[in-house]
Amino acid sequence: MKRKIIVFFSILFTINSLFAQTKDFRSINWGMNRDQIKAIEKEKILLETEKYVAYETKVSGFPVWLVYNFINDKCVNSRYMIKVEHANDTLFVDDYKKLKSLLIKVYGNPIEDETIWKDDLYKDDETEYGMALSIGDLFYYTNWENDKTFISLELGGDNYEIDHFIIFYDSKEFSSLAEEKKAEEETEGL
**For residues 65-76, average pLDDT:** 98
pLDDT at residue number 157: 97
Return phi, psi of residue 44, to 5°: -75, 135
Q: Residue 189's pLDDT band (boundaries 50, 70, 90)?
A: confident
Task: Give the pLDDT confidence of 122-169 residue by residue, as tens digits.
Answer: 999 999 999 999 999 999 999 999 999 999 999 999 999 999 999 999
Q: How far is CA 33 from CA 40, 61, 109, 171, 180, in A?
A: 11, 28, 31, 14, 19
